[in-house]
Amino acid sequence: MRMRLAWLTDIHLNFLKGLAIYEFFAVIGREKPDAVVISGDIAEAPSFALFLQEMQEALDRPVYFVLGNHDFYRGSLATARDSASLAMQQSPGLIWLTQAGVVELTPRTALIGHEGWYDGREGDYQRSGVVLNDFYLVWDFLELDKHDRLELLHRLGDETASHFRKVLPEALKSHDQVILATHIPPFREGCRHEGHISGDDWLPMLCCRAAGEVLREIMSQHPDKRLTVLCGHTHGLGEAMILPNLQVLTGGAVYRAPVVQRVLEVL
């Protein structure tokens, strides 16, 4: 058995005007996917659920998703997660991977996912002068100083890592390969800008190292199994082999011009 899984990332649908969104849904439909997976940055907190519902109705296929940092904009971590959970309850074809756990795509392949959050551990956080809109547009970050912000980033990274520590072994128990969707690249090799790995000033805000450490550890214990990580966030296209059985694909993205990254033929 095989199926076609269309992968989207960083589509930022709130930036599209007029009919462009429906044209994009038609582009996805022309790939004739059996299902769609989105690795975050769908829109923003007040709007992503509606866009997902429209996409799912237009395609009439399961839409699996995780949220990206932009999906929390103009909301809080809790309110955006509540919206994702509610969207899943209201539309059976919408599947929020963070809540769904292990999803079987085919008898050989499982799909798992979690948002991820850059955890400040890669690169040089203390010296970095990078200030993201996240710190002003996600309520949980408001009024946090640099030190407290790092504590929150650590907590969010650890949350993602413990999710994967739970669900990845479960998925590997019954499947030869696993596809994992997460917004933030779990390895520095997955954070590319104009062909090079991003610098130490940006890496703290691009990479979720806690998640990467867990994935590397688990996959090195399962050399006969295969993991493919689909991520985004950097908007810089990249492909890296972290281990012979651990591949990371980072999507390339341009605001106002969403694309289908790839259609994966899943066996």
Sites of contact with Fe ion (CB under 5 A): 10, 41, 68-69, 233
Closest residue by Cα to residue 55 from 13, 113, 99, 98: 13
Which residue lies nearer to Fe ion by CB, 10 or 119? Answer: 10
User: Shortest Cβ distance from residue 156 to Fe ion (Å)?
Assistant: 13
Which residue number, 114 or 233, has a Cβ lying nearer to Fe ion?
Answer: 233
Smallest gap from Cβ 10 to Fe ion, in A, equals 4
Tell me how far, at minimum, the Cβ of 42 lies from Fe ion, in Å: 9
Count CB atoms within 10 A of the CB of residue 234. 24
- Nearer to Fe ion (CB atom), residue 62 or residue 68: 68
Computed from CA positions of residues 176, 212, 85, 51, in that sequence, does the dihedral angle turn out positive or negative? negative
Shorter beta-carbon distance to Fe ion: residue 69 or 83? 69
Alpha-carbon distance 79 to 77, whole Å? 6
Nearest distance from residue 41's CB to Fe ion, in Å? 3
Burial class (CB in 10 A: 0-12, 13-18, 19+), 150: middle
Q: What's the rounded Cα separation, in Å, for the pair 90 and 147?
A: 39
Residue 20 or residue 137: which is nearer to Fe ion going by CB?
Answer: 137
Q: What minimum distance in Å lies between the beta carbon of 1 and Fe ion?
A: 33
| Rounded Cα–Cα distance for residues 131 and 199 (Å) | 15
- Residue 15 has, within 13 A of its CA and on its CB side, a CA count of 13
CB of 201 to Fe ion, least distance (A): 17
Measured from the CB atom, is 77 or 218 closer to Fe ion? 77
Contacts of 95 (CB under 8 A, 6+ apart): 62, 63, 64, 65, 88, 103
Q: Are 55 and 63 in contact (CB under 8 A)?
A: yes
Q: Which two tokens stand for residue 212?
A: 């990467």
